[in-house]
Every structure is written in C-alpha cells, then in structure tokens.
Structure 1
C-alpha cells in the first residue's frame, strides 16, 4: 500500500489533472458495478422469483457510461473546484485555513453550488446517454433529483467537514473520490429505482418544469 501511495503522489505531482481524471473515472466505474450488484440483490430478495435467482450479469456498457462521467466531469471539474474554492475563501473572506468559519464557508458553498449541479448533470447525462429523449430526461430528473439531494444532504456535509478541516487541498479530490466509490453506486442505484414509492415520499416526481 505504501508503494502504491508513493506512486500516486508522484503521478499527482507530475500530472495533477490527469491523475485526478483517471482516478475519478476508475472509481465511478467501480461504483456503478457495485450499484448493479446491489440492485440485483435487492430485486432477488423482493421478487423471490425464478428469474431473480439467475446469476447477476454486469451491464458493462452502463458501467463504461458512468465511468465516463467520472473521467469527463468529476475528475477535471473537481480538481479545479477544490483548488479554486480554497483560494476564493482565503482571498474573498480573508479567513484563516482550518478555522470553523473557513470550513463552514467551504461546506456551504460546496453544498449550495457544486452538489446540486453535480446531481443535475449526472441524472441528465445518464438519461441522454441511454438514448432517452429530452422530455423523458426531464421526467427522470424531476423524479430522482430531489430525493437524491435530500438523502445526500444528510451525508456529504459531514464528509466535507472532515475533508476541509483535515485534508490538504491537493488530496481533497482523492478523499472525495473514495467516498464517490460509494456515492456513484448510490446515485446509479437511485437512477435505476424508477418510480419507487419512497421517491414520491421524498418529493420526487412532484411539481412542474
């Protein structure tokens, strides 16, 4: 593990953006494979039918599509977001790093600006990449966005408090990507749940565009 960490640090020092892009893409792809296994396991327990007892078959095309979201958005945008957010808070608000106000400001901006945009883009991208029409994608986003935002809103602020308080800026995306291994599985699972009753209870599918 120490050797792998030193190799990662060397790659991050020489090619910071490329390293973040590759690690994000790989972790989001792995996360989607995990989501497919979770979805299969849940269906098997719920349906208790002959078809559900068949071996889980991974949809590698879907995993590749999800991985591309990590490559194309999470990696490059996340790299510049965390670097830029740190500089902005220091210069704009003149706050000392790792203080309560400094961490609170970063958590607030990340939760208000980046998280909703990330979720919206993820669900839109996943819909369009599977060949759905724009109206269909709108319905899917309306169904999935609010439930995901509510559920993630109870987890990510805690994750980011630790991140912004204790993790150096150059490693913050790596820290987030480790949690994205779970988060990508979670988002993919939500996207595959269609019109599940619990989504309607959380507000999914309500309102008009």
Structure 2
C-alpha cells in the first residue's frame, strides 16, 4: 500500500492532470459498481459493464480535467489557505445551483476541510473519495428501471 501511495505521489508530481483524470475515472467507476452491486443488487452476472465504463469515461474525460483545472484556477485566483481564503474558495466553488441545492449539507464542510488542510495536488482525490457515495447515488438515480 505504501508503494502504491508513493507511486501516486510521483505521478501527481510529474503529470498532475493525468493522475487526477485517472483518479476521478477510477472512483466514478467504483461508485457505479457499488450502485449496481450493493444498492441495486444486480449480482456479477447482472452487472452492466457499459454503464460502468460510461461513468469511468465521464471521470476520465470530464470530471478529472475540469474539476482539477477548476481547483488550480481557484488556487491561482485566491492563493493561500487561511480561514478567510478558504471561505472565499468554498463560496466560489458552490456556484452550481443544482449542486448547491442538492448537496448543500455535504459539500461546504468537505470543501472547507479540503481547501484548508489538503495540498492542491490531492484536492481532487479527496473530493472524489467523498463523491464516491454521490456517484453511486447518481448512477442509481440515472439508471433506475
């Protein structure tokens, strides 16, 4: 596990965009697998692989690059991690109306901790780890039969 963590750290240092895209894709795929196996209880034979691949592709191609870039922009616009700076970043980060309404009790506390304690290169991974439950919910909601 320690070797895996060091390898991820090296990849983040050398190719942060690629590492963030891989992390987001893998975690979104994991959210879909959890939705299919634990929430929907499809079983291995009923697992819909194209659906999991679609969720992973969204993570690889959209969430990782876009959200990772957004965090870099926030850090550039508002450098630092004092309490005032963190509040400013959280307010700017909550500029998506549906996310604000739907996730208001989850994301501000997560982002306060994320912007205050977590180094820039690890922020996307933290959000994606928390979002694994959200991704599971989204996958289930979008694919209800």
Please point out which of 59, 70, 93 is paired with 1:110.
93
Note the 1:67-146 alignment, pairs <5 A.
Answer: 67-90=56-79, 97-113=80-96, 116=97
Task: Give SS of 2:47's match.
Answer: coil
Q: Deviations over 1:155-178 (max 9, x none)?
A: 111111110010011111111121
- 1:170 matched to 2:121? The reply is yes
Gaps of 5+ in 2: none
- Identify the residue that residue 35 of structure 2 maps to in structure 1: 35
TM-score (norm 1): 0.63
- Asked whether the equivalents of residues 94 and 100 of structure 2 are also in contact (C-alpha less than 8 Å), the reply is no
Residues 71, 58 of structure 1: CA spacing in aligned structure 2 closer, same or farther, 3 A cutoff? Answer: same
Q: CA RMSD in A?
A: 2.0
- The runs of 5 or more residues in structure 1 that have no matched partner are 42-53, 91-96, 117-145, 195-209
Shift of 1:149: 5.2
| TM-score between both structures, scaled by the size of structure 2 | 0.88
* Higher relative contact order, chain-length normalized (CA < 8 Å, sep 6+): 2
**Structure 1 pair 3/55, CA: closer, same or farther in 2 (3 Å)?**
closer
Structure showing greater Rg:
1
